[in-house]
């Protein structure tokens, strides 16, 4: 009997600045983030990708003290791999964005592999009501917004994280980001196997067409051979369809309310766990096996939950 392939489910629990609060189900407070993350892990997520928000105004924050309350609860109540953002906000310096990862030394952290336009303003055509006054202004200002991650920035993040034994989820929003990753691998700054998160559907990055997914896969195969772990992130309504296509082609998958507020057409997801459960049903229907946290650690070469500082 052929051995079932194991698929890592990552859950992005709460939004960054590109996820305004159009849904009442988006976790904001430390308690909501912890409960949402733990429920997602119980539903099958091996990795929990985490941002923090100011509970008073909903703005993203990279203050380590905003992360501390939910990190300790998550570690105590589940075995999932914790993945801390180094993205934060495009208005922060690299040093500000790295504060949580440097403080808590997680097994995994996210890393955007290049500077890019980040167009969020089309959301203004779909949503008219926002919980916080800053959200509408931020979406409008994204007409003139660049998320900055220069080669110097990326090298700084890689060196600081590697010193702490942290591996990275390399978020690649376009083909050029794969080439950037190959550059740093050629310089010996990225150990094998890289964990490549291909991101589709953000204005300014590669589109969500299945041909775009195929192009990313072909390019990654050409640059990295078979010695990499691939994952699919589809933004908004592209989340489940692209993850399903990717999984059928050999990828891991990422879901969560950071990437999409929806469970289906016109239906808001009431929790991160609901999206994880939907993805798990699909994976099992494809005769794929959902990886446990410890299996994900082995697949990605992580240092283990006992070697973090939270």
**pLDDT tens digit string along 95-140?**
999 999 999 999 999 999 999 999 889 888 888 788 777 888 888 9
Is residue 265 domain-resident? yes
**pLDDT tens digit string along 40-94?**
999 999 999 999 999 888 888 999 999 999 999 999 999 999 999 999 888 889 9
pLDDT of residue 20: 56
Is residue 120 domain-resident? yes
Query: pLDDT band at 2, cuts 50/70/90?
Result: low
Is residue 116 domain-resident? yes
Query: pLDDT band at 155, cuts 50/70/90?
Result: very high
Query: How far does Cα 7 stand from its chain's mean position?
Result: 16
Q: How far apart are CA 272 and CA 36, in angstroms?
A: 6
Is residue 213 domain-resident? yes
Q: How far apart are CA 21 and CA 132, in angstroms?
A: 8
User: What pTM was estimated for this model as a whole?
Assistant: 0.95
Is residue 39 domain-resident? yes
Domain CATH for 242: 3.20.20.70
How many CB atoms are located within 10 Å of the residue 74 CB?
A: 23
**pLDDT tens digit string along 267-303?**
999 999 999 999 999 999 999 999 999 999 999 999 9
**How many domains does the chain contain in total?**
1
Please name which of 196, 179, 199 lies closest in space to residue 118, comparing C-alpha atoms.
199
Mean pLDDT value across the chain:
94
pLDDT of residue 259: 95
Instruction: Give the helix ranges, DSSP H, for the chain.
Output: 30-43, 64-77, 94-104, 133-141, 151-163, 175-186, 210-224, 239-248, 272-285, 293-300
Range of the domain at 126: 6-307
**pLDDT tens digit string along 107-118?**
999 999 999 999
Rounded percentage of the chain residues whose pLDDT exceeds 70 = 97
Is residue 30 domain-resident? yes
Query: pLDDT band at 212, cuts 50/70/90?
Result: very high
Is residue 1 domain-resident? no
Residue 129's contacts (CB-CB under 8 Å, 6 or more residues apart) are 22
Peptide linkage before 193 cis (omega within 30 of 0): yes
Is residue 173 domain-resident? yes
């Amino acid at each position: 009997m052929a051995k079932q392939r194991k698929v890592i489910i990552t859950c992005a629990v709460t939004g960054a600045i590109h996820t305004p609060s159009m849904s009442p189900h988006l976790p904001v407070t430390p308690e909501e983030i912890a409960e949402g993350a733990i429920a997602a892990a119980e539903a099958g997520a091996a990795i929990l990708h985490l941002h923090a928000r100011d509970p008073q105004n909903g703005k993203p924050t990279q203050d380590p003290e905003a992360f501390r309350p939910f990190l300790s609860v998550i570690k105590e109540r589940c075995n999932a791999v914790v993945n801390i953002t180094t993205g934060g906000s495009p208005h922060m310096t690299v040093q500000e964005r790295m504060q949580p990862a440097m403080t808590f030394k997680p097994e995994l952290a996210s890393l955007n592999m290049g500077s890019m336009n980040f167009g969020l303003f089309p959301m203004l055509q779909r949503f008219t009501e926002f919980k916080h006054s800053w959200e509408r202004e931020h979406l409008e200002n994204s007409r003139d917004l660049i998320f900055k991650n220069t080669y110097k920035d990326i090298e700084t993040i890689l060196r600081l994280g590697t010193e702490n034994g942290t591996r990275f989820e390399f978020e690649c929003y376009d083909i050029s980001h794969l080439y950037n990753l190959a550059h740093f691998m050629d310089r010996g700054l990225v150990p094998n196997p890289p964990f490549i998160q291909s991101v589709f559907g953000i204005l300014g990055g590669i589109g969500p067409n299945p041909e775009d997914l195929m192009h990313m896969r072909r390019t990654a195969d050409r640059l990295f051979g078979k010695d990499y772990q691939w994952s699919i992130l589809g933004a908004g309504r592209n989340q489940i369809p692209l993850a399903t296509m990717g999984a059928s082609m050999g990828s891991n998958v990422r879901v969560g309310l950071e990437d999409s507020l929806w469970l289906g057409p016109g239906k808001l997801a009431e929790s991160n766990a609901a999206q994880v459960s939907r993805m798990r049903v699909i994976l099992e229907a494809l005769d794929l096996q959902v990886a446990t946290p410890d299996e994900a650690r082995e697949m990605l070469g992580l240092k283990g939950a006992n070697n973090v500082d939270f």
